[in-house]
Structure 1
Amino acid sequence: MSDDDYARRSYGAIPVGTGERPGIVVVDFQVGFTDPQYPLGGAPLVVRALHNTAKLLKVARRHGVPVAVCNTAYLNEREMPYWKITAVRETFLHSHPSTRLDPLIYDAAYDVHVTKKGPSIFFETGVANYFTKERVDTVIVTGCNTSGCIRGTALDSFSLRYRTLVPEDCVGDIEEQPHRDNLRDIGRRYVDVVDLAFCTDYLESWARRNAL
């Protein structure tokens, strides 16, 4: 089925749009993914997303936008789901340095930090409860990897009834094709795929409205 076939069946016909209160989730920008010294680290699309997300977060924190960040880590292999990735099983442990959040995106004095056990930042972490307290209705999803934890987070965000934005240049994956394919797919159904500039403009305009 081609893009035209989906369009004829009305996929992607209605934009999600933005709401009254934004929040940002930052998924798995731990050094195991951002630092090339680790087996899963340093993919160019992930590094690009890391730097763009850091720019977005500077704007968000300046305007008091809620930010939730996560890493993935386990006590031991018995606690893990049935991961099929050897590097996850061997390195995503609380005792391993690869699970530290990348300092480019983490502000311990501002961000809510959770450690997740599955793909989605929302799964059994309390992030949705935090956003309820903060009256968030629009979630901007950043982080890695697009085909895994970003997709899982976006689907949970949709299921929790948030308006969901995924800036293409603030998420990344190991290869470009699954990055593009998954963004196209979730953009047809669940989210608005946007970019850093769109999200920055949204946060700035939201802040101006609330300053009046």
Structure 2
Amino acid sequence: MSDVYAAKGYGSRPIGFGEKPGVVVVDFQTGFTDPAFPMGGAPLVERAVENTARLMRAAKAAGAPVIACVVAFDGPKGAPHWKVAPVLDLLAGSAGTALDPRIAAEEPDVVLAKTAPSIFFGTAAGAILTRERVDTVIVTGCITSGCVRASIIDAFSLGFRVQVPEDCVGDQDEVAHRQNLKDVERRYADIIDADTAIAAIERWSRANDRS
């Protein structure tokens, strides 16, 4: 079947990497990664955590900034009108708001709390990346069709080049995962993989090595 979007010119212009990469890690917290929680245990999310830890390690070694976030509410009145009931249990300080241990072990430079889907909405993420002179944002995290997609669109709207390693993001449902990545690839981001992102970070590091 022909791709009607491609025929209209969607996805016809690759974005590529710019002058400096940074990594954002969206919602890899135990409430979404640990099978003990209602929303945890999805195989695609598990795969994404493992690959993101590897990507974070490369970014930290190269000196590229890494910003992680978690969903956490000060109280019920601090939450938007989420339709996902278990999200409303993610009160600040509760077990579900802790970073997944594999992500925490890689020591992100900044950990932010958010209440809305995007890592950029109502947080300092965009300002921090701009201060660090980042122009290319590598988006990782979960859930692909929700908070990851929102973060991709906000990164694009803020003027960043957006790169999304497919194996560093995960969803509850593989169909939703692939459909949403295909859709943002048509409009806002390049869809790559962890190895491609790591290679780009390492090239940037070598090009900027002043030693």
Normalised by the shorter chain, which TM-score bucket? Answer: over 0.9
The CA deviation string for residues 35-62 of structure 1, in whole angstroms up to 9 with x for no partner, is 0000011100000000000000110100
The 1-side partners of 2:130 and 2:172 are apart by 33
Specify the alignment match of 1:117 in structure 2. Answer: 115
The 2-side partners of 1:165 and 1:176 are apart by 20
State whether residues 43 and 174 of structure 1, in contact with CA within 8 Å, keep that contact through their aligned partners in structure 2.
Answer: yes
Specify the alignment match of 1:86 in structure 2. Answer: 85
1:178 to 168, 176, 179: 176
Specify the alignment match of 1:27 in structure 2. Answer: 26
The 2-side partners of 1:115 and 1:3 are apart by 43
Q: Which amino acid in 2 is paired with 1:106?
A: A
State whether residues 165 and 191 of structure 2, in contact with CA within 8 Å, keep that contact through their aligned partners in structure 1.
Answer: yes
The normalised TM-score by structure 1 is 0.96
The 1-side partners of 2:3 and 2:108 are apart by 44
Please, which moves more after superposition, 102-111 or 138-147? 102-111
SS of residue paired to 1:105: helix
State whether residues 146 and 182 of structure 1, in contact with CA within 8 Å, keep that contact through their aligned partners in structure 2.
Answer: yes
What stretches of structure 2 of length at least 5 have no aligned partner?
A: none
Count of aligned positions: 210
2:140 to 129, 139, 142: 142
SS of residue paired to 1:211: coil
Please, which moves more after superposition, 2-11 or 152-161? 2-11
The CA deviation string for residues 178-207 of structure 1, in whole angstroms up to 9 with x for no partner, is 000000000000000100011011011111
The 2-side partners of 1:3 and 1:41 are apart by 37
The CA deviation string for residues 94-117 of structure 1, in whole angstroms up to 9 with x for no partner, is 142011011211258652110011
The 2-side partners of 1:3 and 1:52 are apart by 33
The 2-side partners of 1:54 and 1:190 are apart by 24
Q: Which amino acid in 1 is paired with 2:203?
A: S
State whether residues 56 and 106 of structure 2, in contact with CA within 8 Å, keep that contact through their aligned partners in structure 1.
Answer: no
Q: Which amino acid in 2 is paired with 1:163?
A: R
State whether residues 69 and 112 of structure 1, in contact with CA within 8 Å, keep that contact through their aligned partners in structure 2.
Answer: yes
The 2-side partners of 1:110 and 1:72 are apart by 16
Q: Which amino acid in 2 is paired with 1:161?
A: G
State whether residues 69 and 106 of structure 1, in contact with CA within 8 Å, keep that contact through their aligned partners in structure 2.
Answer: no
RMSD over aligned Cα, in angstroms?
A: 1.3
Specify the alignment match of 1:158 in structure 2. Answer: 156
The 1-side partners of 2:197 and 2:107 are apart by 23
State whether residues 25 and 142 of structure 1, in contact with CA within 8 Å, keep that contact through their aligned partners in structure 2.
Answer: yes
**Residue 77 (structure 1) shift:** 1.4
Please, which moves more after superposition, 95-104 or 32-41? 95-104
State whether residues 53 and 106 of structure 2, in contact with CA within 8 Å, keep that contact through their aligned partners in structure 1.
Answer: no
Specify the alignment match of 2:36 in structure 1. Answer: 37
Specify the alignment match of 1:168 in structure 2. Answer: 166
SS of residue paired to 1:119: coil
In the superposition, relative to structure 1, how do residues 3 and 69 fare at CA in structure 2: closer, same or farther (>3 Å)? farther
The 2-side partners of 1:98 and 1:137 are apart by 32
